[in-house]
Structure 1
Amino acid sequence: MVPPWAVVSAAPAIPCVPSELGLRDRVISLYGTALRKQGLRSGMRNEDPKPRDPYLLGSLRKGLELLDCFARQETWSLAELAAELGQTKPTVFRILHTIEEFGYLHKDPVTGRYSLAMRFHTLGSAAVRHEQLRWQALPPLQDLARETGETVHVGILYDGEAICVQAVDGTRLIRMHAFVGKRTPAHASALGKILLAHVPDAELDAFVSRGLSRFTPSTIIEPAALREALHQIRANGWGMDDEEMEVGLRCLGAPITDHSGRPCACVAVSAPAARMDPQRIATLTPLIKATAARISRMLGSPSMSDGTSRAA
C-alpha cells in the first residue's frame, strides 16, 4: 500500500514560470512607487502611524517641522523646504512668511534663502540659562535644606507668576512640599515679590493693572501697599511671604543675580508659620542670602558676598 504522503509527493509540482513572477514583481514595484509618490505629494511622508491626536494643531505642527530643518542645514530656499517637507510651495511660503513676520526667520534679500533670526538665539539663551540655573542651584539647595531642615526652592518670574525651577524637600515631618513647575501669583509669594521688586517700572505697572487677587486675609491687594513692600525688599536685600498665599505658611527668600549682576531668580525657604517666628527669621536670613550669593557666583554674577547685587 502506498502511503498517502507518497501519493502527494508524487503529484506534479506547479511550475514556477519566471516570466509570470517577473510580471507580478514589476506590478508590485510600480504600485509601491505610485503610493510613495502620492504620499510625498500629500505630505504622507511625515505622517505618524499612531492615531492622530485631536488636540494637535496641524498648521503649528507643519511650522515646527519646518523649523526642525534648520537644525540640519543653516539656510534653505523655498523650493528646498517644499521638497524636504513634501508640501506645496504656496503652503511652505505661508508658513515661512508667518514665522519671518514674528522675527524667528530671516530672508536674505539677495539670495532669497532663509535662516534662523536673532529671536531664536534669545530663546535658546534663555533656555540654557534656566537649565544651567536648575542644576547649578541643586547642590547649594541640598546644603541649605540639610542645614535648616526646611523645604527650599528656586524660582523665576514669568508672565506675572513665580515658577519653581528647582526644589529640595525638607526633613521635618510637617513641611511644605515644593515641586518643579509649581506656579504662584507673584504678588502673593516671596519668590514673586522679590523678583517684582527689580523689574522696570513699566513692567510693574502692567502687572498691577491686571488686578491683585486675594488668597488669604494677609494677601496684598492694594497697588500702593505692594509698591511699598517691594521698596522694602530692595532696601533689605530679602523678602517674605507672610501667610499671603496659604494660611499657616511663611516663606523667606533672597535674589539670585546673573552675569550682569541683575536679579534673575530667587532662592527661598518655606516652613509652617509656627516655626518661622522673628527669631528663626533672623537666623535663616543670612543663610538664605549666602546660598543666593553662592548660586549667583556660579552663574558668573559680580554679586557681593552678602548676597546683595550691585545692580539692585
Structure 2
Amino acid sequence: MAEDAKDPYHLASLSRGLEVLDCFTRRPEWGLAELSQHLGQNKATVFRVLHTLEQAGWLSKDAAGHYALGLRFHALGAAAMRREQLRWQALPPLQDLAEATGETVHVGILHDNAAVTVQIVEGTHAVRMHSAVGKRSPVHASAMGKALLAYLPDAEVEAMLAATGMERFTPATLATPAALREALHQVRQQGHALDEEELVPGLRCVAAPITDHTGRPTAALAVSAPKDRMGAARVADLIPRVKGAAARISRMLGAPSIAA
C-alpha cells in the first residue's frame, strides 16, 4: 500500500472497487457486513463502493441485501468469449490463406475508435508487412478499418471521426468525411475494402468483413503486402481469396455465408 500511495497515477477509489469485485470470484454473493469483515474495512466505505457498482450495473442487490455480479458483467464476459472465439477459430483460415498467398494475414475488430488486430499469421516472403496482436490502425486510413466502418450506422461513423479526426498519413489518405463516405459506399457495394498506400507508403491491403452469429459484420480479415507485389492483377486474384476466407470464418462463427 505504501508503494501505491507514492504512485501519482494510482486511483485509490478504483483500487477499492476492484478489490470488492475480486471477492465475487471467491463467492457468488456477499452481504455488506460479511464483506466489510472479509476486507477489514468499515461498512460505510464498503457500502459506497457497493452502491456505486450497483448503480452502474456491475452488481445487483436482492431483497435480502445480498450483492451479486450484475448483467453488465455477463455482457462483458460474453464479449470476451466472442473475441476469444474469433481469435482461435480464425487461425486455421488465416494459416491457409497465408500459406496460399505468402502474404501476412490478420483479423481485427473495432475497439476504442480504432481497428485492433486480434490474430495474425505472418507471410513467408522475405519482405513483408510485420504486425502484432494488439496493433491499432486508424479506421479511415486502413482497409481493415474501412471494412469495419462500412456497416455501421452513419451517425456512429461520424461520432467516431469526430473523436479521432482524419489525420493524413500519406498523400493517398482519405482526409475528408465525404471521401470516406464514398469509399464506405464502395465497400458495401463490392464486399471488400482496399488500402492504396493510405496508411504506409509502399504498402497495399485488401480486407473483407467477417460476420458474427447474428449476421452483423463485427470483424475484418485483411491481407497486406508491398505495392510491388500488389499490382492490379494480384489484387484481383486476392479479393476472392480474402472474401472466401472471411466467409469461412463467418460460417465457423455461426453466421450466414458472405458471397465471395
Query: How far apart are the structure 1 equivalents of 2:206 and 2:153?
Result: 23
Residue in 2 that maps onto 1:124:
77
Question: Aligned pair 1:185/2:138, yes or no?
Answer: yes
1:180-206 per-position Cα deviation (integer Å, ceiling 9, x unaligned): 000011101111111100112221120
Alignment of 1:163-312 (within 5 A): 163-210=116-163, 211-304=165-258, 306-307=259-260
Question: Aligned pair 1:101/2:101, yes or no?
Answer: no
Letter in 2 for 1:188: A
> Which of 72, 81, 97 pairs up with 1:144?
97
Question: Aligned pair 1:68/2:19, yes or no?
Answer: no
Query: How far apart are the structure 1 equivalents of 2:44 and 2:138?
Result: 44
- Offset, 1:234: 0.5
1:116-148 per-position Cα deviation (integer Å, ceiling 9, x unaligned): 111111111110111111111111111111100
Query: How far apart are the structure 2 equivalents of 1:140 and 1:65?
Result: 41
Query: How far apart are the structure 1 equivalents of 2:209 and 2:64?
Result: 47
Contact 1:78 1:89 in 2 (8 A): yes
Question: Aligned pair 1:85/2:39, yes or no?
Answer: yes
Query: How far apart are the structure 2 equivalents of 1:188 and 1:82?
Result: 51
Query: How far apart are the structure 1 equivalents of 2:150 and 2:130?
Result: 25
Give the greater-gyration-radius structure (CA).
1
Query: How far apart are the structure 1 equivalents of 2:257 and 2:217?
Result: 10
Letter in 2 for 1:183: R
Name the SS of the counterpart of 1:71 in structure 2.
Answer: coil
1:181-236 per-position Cα deviation (integer Å, ceiling 9, x unaligned): 00011101111111100112221120232321111111111111111100100010
- Offset, 1:299: 0.7
Q: Which runs of 5+ in 1 are unaligned?
A: 1-46, 308-312
> Which of 100, 107, 113 pairs up with 1:154?
107
Contact 1:104 1:120 in 2 (8 A): yes
Letter in 2 for 1:278: A
Query: How far apart are the structure 2 equivalents of 1:58 and 1:117?
Result: 23
Residue in 2 that maps onto 1:135:
88
Residue in 2 that maps onto 1:32:
none
- Offset, 1:294: 0.9
Residue in 2 that maps onto 1:59:
13
- Offset, 1:105: 1.0
Relative to the length of structure 1, the TM-score reads: 0.79
Contact 2:108 2:116 in 1 (8 A): yes
Name the SS of the counterpart of 2:81 in structure 1.
Answer: helix
Identity %: 61
Contact 2:248 2:257 in 1 (8 A): no
Name the SS of the counterpart of 2:175 in structure 1.
Answer: coil
Query: How far apart are the structure 2 equivalents of 1:137 and 1:155?
Result: 10
Q: Detail structure 1 runs of 4+ shifted over 6 Å in the superposition.
A: none
Query: How far apart are the structure 2 equivalents of 1:159 and 1:67?
Result: 24
Whose relative contact order is higher, 1 or 2, with alpha carbons under 8 Å and at least 6 apart? 2
Contact 1:134 1:166 in 2 (8 A): yes
Name the SS of the counterpart of 1:274 in structure 2.
Answer: helix
Name the SS of the counterpart of 1:156 in structure 2.
Answer: strand
Contact 1:168 1:178 in 2 (8 A): no
Aligned residue pair count: 257
Query: How far apart are the structure 1 equivalents of 2:114 and 2:146?
Result: 10
Letter in 1 for 2:243: K
Query: How far apart are the structure 1 equivalents of 2:168 and 2:214?
Result: 35
- Offset, 1:58: 2.7
Q: CA RMSD in A?
A: 1.5
Name the SS of the counterpart of 2:110 in structure 1.
Answer: strand
